[in-house]
Amino acid sequence: MEGDYVIVGGGLTGCVVASRLKQRKPSLEIILIEAGSDVSNDPDVEAGTFPGNTSLVGSNLDWTYITEPQPHTSNRTHEVHAGRAMGGGTSINFGGWSRGAAMDYDDWAKLAGDERWSHKGLLPYFRRSESFFDTHADPEYHGFQGPVKVNSLFSSGRHYPLREPIKQGFNEIGLPFNADIGTGNTYGVSEFLDTWHDDKRQTSQKAYGLNGVRVIENATVHRVEFEPHVELDVKPKGPQRVSAVLLANGQRISARKEVILSAGTIRTPQVLLLSGIGAADELSQHDIPQIINAPQVGKNLNDHFAVYQLFKLRKPLALGGPHLSDPIFARGLPVDWIINQDVPTDKLSVALQKDIAQFGQSDQDILTESILQPKRSLVESMVMYAPAGVPGAPVDGSLIVTSVMLLGSTSRGNITIRSPSPMDPPKIHSNYFDTEADRVSLIHGSRRTLQALLDTKLSEYVEGEVPPPGMSPLNSQSSDAEFEGRIRATGMAHHHPAGTAAMGKVVDSNLRVMGVENLRVVDASIFPLSIGGHPQATLYAVAEQAVDIILGLEPSS
């Protein structure tokens, strides 16, 4: 089989790239390879489960990778979720829609040495991908004719009972209302946005369409293949040229123009390593010949580490509004607000001095200067009406749950291969909660969240924390050590892994794997740093820009 472009991975970015390439140049032959199947018309995928849980995380459509035991979280293993179906994460996630702060993307551009990846450079692609619910929003920041329908929960009829008390509680501790989180200023209390449309989940392949794209389902990719050379014992000079993809079943699919890896943060580095692109010592352990010396493949793994807490309400969730049995709780994640907080710079400055040796020299100045900016959003809080992240908690209206999540995570893990077989999942060393900056930030964000729930007028509705079995409840006066102990014992990631084929380290700013011709990467593995906000809005913009780069087009609105 042969095509012009062969795309490995039918997740969010793979579907967008395949769709846009075909739309822009219908004569192109596009082949899209997906390890799962197309389940976009499955009722569970379209509508989620009920009540109070609209994700399919942990289902048979989820890879559910397991990390190695992690020393900074009580030697626990962690689940890392990724969609095993067409649409990838868009087939199983909660559908949250938020961008990072402008500074996140500006730092990215500095690390890559290319302004196309700055906030200003990405804005045309943010606009291109979305159809924003508020047609009066600033057109400099929002698009109104894109494939992805972006909704406000409130404007779409999901009127939850604690909406105003939650907003007032966080206002009371000094966090202002932010009318538009999409402008690059993410600080404060903002409307939670999602991509549920007409009460159905929007998957990337349905939003963009794959008409004319040749899709191969249920196919695991083994590696990319390089053009053969006559003198096989002599390593040729100059870049190596990729010409095909080899599937695990032995089938070879040739690319006349390029191979594009969109297999995700976990699988993309695995494919690269199995192809001989990586560090010599790692490859030699599995008798894989090194073709390209790329020691950063699989490094720089980052994620949005978080702590979840349950709270008992003084009255069940009738409160003059709907109970959890009401159908509105099956229409997207039941949450009103997304609350982004800063962290005191004096605490962070001391923490960063302890962490400085962990950053590469080229990253030190950019990252440390950025993190210390006033009102820099480093922690996100949400108050949810369903016990997401707390397995086994009853969904009876008596409890709410908070999530406090790192946005600017500085801890870095890595991914390595377990064997030369593509059927074996890679080894994941997530290294959550490793740096002092992450510890200071998450403890501060957790304390402030408890202040809003327990020390303001919101306490008229919230009785107190329901701690995990065998633990004492926390409040805003608990010690740093008590907060840290809870986070180490119970903290888990929000399943937003990124960075394992980082721009500037593995790929260049044109998304080409350095030292290789005809091979690009387009997925979250290229993020060189932790992007604030839930990743799907950023990924849609990245995929849109990737198509312009591949086709040599100038950006347009």
397 pLDDT band, cuts 50/70/90, is confident
- Report the mean per-residue pLDDT for the chain: 90
398 pLDDT band, cuts 50/70/90, is confident
Q: Are 100 and 186 in contact (CB under 8 A)?
A: yes
Question: Can you say whether residue 233 is alpha, beta or left, with left for phi > 0 and alpha for psi between -120 and 50 degrees?
Answer: alpha
| Helices of type H across 116-175 | 119-129, 163-172
Residue 375: name the closest of 178, 514, 85 by CA. 178
Instruction: Confirm or deny that 425 is annotated as ligand binding.
Output: no
Of the given ranges (176-180, 389-393, 476-480), which has the lowest mean pLDDT?
A: 389-393
Q: Average pLDDT of 36-58?
A: 77
> What angle do the packed helices 436-454 and 480-490 form, to 10 degrees?
100
Nearest-angstrom CA–CA distance, 262 and 511: 11
Residue 7: name the closest of 252, 247, 244, 262 by CA. 262
236 pLDDT band, cuts 50/70/90, is low
Q: Are 539 and 527 in contact (CB under 8 A)?
A: no
Instruction: Answer yes or no: is pLDDT of 465 > 60.
Output: yes
Nearest-angstrom CA–CA distance, 136 and 55: 31
135 vs 56, residue with greater confidence: 135
Please report, for residues 45, 56, 58, 59, 316, the alpha-carbon distance to residue 330 in angstroms, rounded to integers and kept in the order given: 12, 13, 18, 17, 18
Residue 455: name the closest of 483, 480, 481, 475 by CA. 475
Q: Average pLDDT of 376-386?
A: 91
pTM, 2 dp? 0.95
The pLDDT, as a whole number, for residue 320 is 44
Q: What does R_g of the chain's alpha carbons equal in angstroms?
A: 23
The pLDDT, as a whole number, for residue 328 is 67
**468 half-sphere exposure, CB direction, 13 A CA radius:** 13
Instruction: Answer yes or no: is pLDDT of 356 > 80.
Output: no
Instruction: Confirm or deny that 535 is annotated as ligand binding.
Output: yes
332 vs 78, residue with greater confidence: 78
Nearest-angstrom CA–CA distance, 415 and 319: 47
Instruction: Answer yes or no: is pLDDT of 377 > 90.
Output: yes
% of the chain residues with pLDDT over 90: 75
Instruction: Answer yes or no: is pLDDT of 296 > 50.
Output: yes
> What angle do the packed helices 361-371 and 102-112 form, to 10 degrees?
160
Instruction: Answer yes or no: is pLDDT of 319 > 60.
Output: no
Q: Average pLDDT of 375-404?
A: 84
Of the given ranges (281-290, 318-327, 401-410), which has the lowest mean pLDDT?
A: 318-327
The answer to whether residue 534 is catalytic is: yes
Q: Which residue has the tokens 């795309």?
A: 7
Beta-sheet strands, E only, within 37-110: 65-66, 79-80
Nearest-angstrom CA–CA distance, 195 and 502: 27
Homologous superfamily (CATH) of 104-203+304-411+433-493 is Glucose Oxidase, domain 3 (3.30.560.10)
C-alpha dihedral (197, 201, 206, 207), degrees to nearest 10: 50
Instruction: Answer yes or no: is pLDDT of 45 > 50.
Output: yes
> Is the peptide bond prior to 51 cis by the omega test (within 30 degrees of 0)?
yes
The pLDDT, as a whole number, for residue 557 is 45
The pLDDT, as a whole number, for residue 331 is 66
Instruction: Confirm or deny that 236 is annotated as ligand binding.
Output: no
Beta-sheet strands, E only, within 17-154: 30-33, 65-66, 79-80, 130-132, 148-152
Task: Give every CB contact of residue 310 below 8 A, 6+ residues apart in sequence.
Answer: 387, 390, 393, 399, 400, 401, 465, 466, 467
Of the given ranges (23-37, 185-199, 247-261, 312-326), which has the lowest mean pLDDT?
A: 312-326
Do strands 65-66 and 492-493 pair parallel, antiparallel, or not at all (unpaired)?
A: unpaired
469 vs 363, residue with greater confidence: 469
Of the given ranges (46-60, 104-118, 245-259), which has the lowest mean pLDDT?
A: 46-60
325 pLDDT band, cuts 50/70/90, is low
Q: Average pLDDT of 256-266?
A: 98
The pLDDT, as a whole number, for residue 506 is 98
Instruction: Answer yes or no: is pLDDT of 456 > 80.
Output: yes
- Of the candidates 72, 142, 444, 534, the residue annotated as catalytic is 534
Residue 216: name the closest of 187, 173, 181, 251 by CA. 251
Task: Give every CB contact of residue 458 below 8 A, 6+ residues apart in sequence.
Answer: 162, 165, 166, 168, 169, 172, 452
Nearest-angstrom CA–CA distance, 349 and 333: 36
Do strands 379-384 and 399-406 pair parallel, antiparallel, or not at all (unpaired)?
A: antiparallel
